[in-house]
Amino acid sequence: MAAESNRPPVWRGAASELITPFDPDGEVRLDLVAGEIEFMAARGVVGVMVNGFASEALMIDDQERFAIARAARQATPAGCQLMGTVIAGSTKQGLAQVGRYEALGLDAIAIATPPLYPYGVDALVDYYIAIAHGTQLPSYIYNSPEWGNKLPPEAVARIVQACPTAVGYKDATHSLIELQTLLELIGRDRLSVLSGSDALTVPMMLVGAKGVISLVTTVFPELIVELCQAAAAGQWERAMALQDKTLRVRAALKIGPFMAAYKHVARLLGHDLGSPRHPLTALTSQQAATVEDRLAAEGLL
């Protein structure tokens, strides 16, 4: 069963996804997990999602996956929530992951779209419902089409209608039209909708989202916290100025191999996020110089 908590099950504002820290030999640095969470929580991040796609979760085994979740649970302070991502190729695997997250006392789960294989929509709906019904933890529907499968709005609505414990939706579709369609189908207050991309936080909040699960928060949390606060207060001119800055920062952090710029910049800030796990690699010296120049121009380095 989940640990007792007086905290609400839904997230609003700037949340984050944990970047898994590895040492140069590719071993998980559990000692760095606590520092990563403490860094973000102290700067206003409301929750952290572990073992998501940006956590390099497809590169870790189950022993590592739950060791990371355990270390994160121990480090997460009051006022910040912890969500475990279910990324599985079968319903059986997904339910096993849920059981482990429950045993560790996490606050919620995010059910990601099963990767790689082409599933039909009905099979995807059945998968989400089975996982959500397999736990008492609040569930977030994580629509992540970049991995090969996508839930249309009507499918998300079917899952929501069948699952009272579905409290949130992480939308990585990049489609405002589909988000608006979903909100028309289920009602604007049924789910805590979170942007799945730093690029669309303000536009999504304008149509009804409550915040973002952000990667930029792992290095520059104050920027995203301020952006979400401005949007929540209806200060749209200020929010859009911060969104424009976030787009430039995000573009700089996407230079080079997957997650390499984030780990490089964190090290410059004295906030160690470890090394990539092979075959991912670090930035080249030229890429590093470009990243540093762009972030310096934003006043962040």
pLDDT digits (tens, 9 = 90+) for 71-130: 999 999 998 999 999 999 999 999 999 999 999 999 999 999 998 898 999 999 999 999
Q: What is the pLDDT of residue 71?
A: 98
Q: What is the pTM of this model?
A: 0.94
User: Residue 99 is part of a domain; what is its CATH number?
Assistant: 3.20.20.70
Is residue 282 situated within a structural domain? no
Residue 9 pLDDT grade (very low, low, confident, very high; cuts 50, 70, 90): low
Query: Is residue 171 over pLDDT 80?
Result: yes
Say if 294 falls within a structural domain.
no
Q: Is the dihedral of CA 68, 111, 87, 17 positive or negative?
A: negative
What pLDDT is attached to residue 35?
95
Annotate 190-237 with DSSP letters as a single string. Answer: SSEEEES-GGGHHHHHHHT--EEEESGGGT-HHHHHHHHHHHHTT-HH
Structural domain span for residue 156: 13-233
Q: What confidence tens digit (pLDDT) does each residue in 148-169 have?
A: 899 999 999 999 999 999 999 9
In a domain, 271, yes or no: no
- Return the pLDDT at 8: 47
CA-based nearest residue to 114, from 104, 105, 106, 124 = 124
In a domain, 136, yes or no: yes
pLDDT of residue 146: 82
Residue 10: pLDDT band (50, 70, 90) is confident
* Both structure tokens of 154: 């009507």
What mean pLDDT comes out for the span 15-43?
97
Q: Is the pLDDT of residue 6 over 80?
A: no
Q: What is the pLDDT of residue 115?
A: 87
Q: What is the pLDDT of residue 2?
A: 37
d(CA 41, CA 225): 11
Total structural domains in the chain? 1
Q: Are 271 and 221 in contact (CB under 8 A)?
A: no
Which residue from 82, 12, 43, 38 is spatially nearest to 228, judged by alpha carbons?
12
**Is residue 4 domain-resident?**
no
Q: 109 lies in a domain?
A: yes
Q: What is the mean pLDDT of residues 240-247?
A: 98
Q: First CA to last CA across the chain, in angstroms?
A: 44
For 184-232, the pLDDT digits (tens) are 999 999 999 999 999 999 999 999 999 999 999 999 999 999 999 999 9
Looking at the domain assignment, is residue 224 inside a domain? yes
Q: Would you say residue 149 lies in a domain? A: yes
